[in-house]
């Protein structure tokens, strides 16, 4: 049976580390990211995941900076104050933030998880990883749009998704 290997055990629990954002946006649990997003086939170390989560949070903070400032200036103390809507017992705005950071984190993990072999098979895997990272980044931006859309139809400071009026 030479040459046969089992895939990494994806049931191995990642250590739960809460990466705090800026206080207005909530922190992110790295174990939650590892449980819910497929990346690295179980070979992502806790430290690599933590670094990618920090990068994902920084991406989110940069993208949401103006939106956050508008809401903070309107007197909203934190992200949960943006909406009262809840899904599965959790604030909808927090769910969008978490989804955004998860996908940006996964994209960072895949971007930094390169094969060292120069075979055609390794090159194909690299292209697949790049494609998956791009898909995760796109899903992150979808979450950005969804979060910015909260309150867009109201008089509040919502950005919203692209909306047009047809003639």
- At residue 40, the pLDDT reads 63
pLDDT in tens, 27-55: 999 999 999 988 766 678 899 999 999 99
Supply the pLDDT for residue 131. Answer: 83
Residue 10, in any domain of the structure = no
Place of tokens 């950071």: 101
Interatomic CA distance for residues 27 and 79, integer angstroms: 11
- The pLDDT of residue 115 is 54
Q: What is the residue range of 114's domain? A: 19-149
Per-residue pLDDT, 4 = 53
Residue with tokens 């955004």: 100
4 is a domain residue: no
State pTM to two decimals: 0.79
Is residue 86 assigned to a domain?
Answer: yes
Low-confidence stretches of the chain (pLDDT beneath 50): 6-7, 10, 155-158, 160
Nearest alpha carbon to residue 139 among 109, 94, 100: 100
Q: Residue 156: inside a domain, yes or no?
A: no
Candidates 101, 88, 166, 84; CA nearest to 139 is 101
């Amino acid at each position: 049976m030479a040459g046969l290997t089992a895939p990494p055990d994806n049931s191995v629990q990642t250590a739960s580390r809460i990466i705090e954002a800026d206080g207005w946006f909530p922190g992110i649990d790295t174990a939650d990211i590892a449980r819910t997003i497929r990346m690295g086939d179980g070979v992502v170390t806790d430290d690599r995941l933590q670094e990618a989560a920090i990068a994902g949070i920084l991406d989110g903070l940069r993208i949401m900076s103006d939106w956050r400032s508008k809401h903070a200036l309107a007197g909203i103390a934190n992200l949960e104050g943006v909406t009262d809507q809840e899904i599965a017992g959790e604030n909808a705005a927090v769910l969008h933030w978490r989804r955004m950071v998860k996908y940006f984190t996964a994209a960072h993990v895949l971007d930094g998880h390169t094969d060292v072999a120069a075979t055609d098979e390794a090159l194909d895997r690299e292209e697949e990883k790049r494609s998956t990272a791009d898909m995760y980044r796109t899903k992150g931006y979808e979450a950005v749009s969804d979060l910015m859309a909260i309150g867009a139809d109201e008089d509040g400071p919502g950005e919203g998704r692209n909306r047009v009026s047809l003639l």
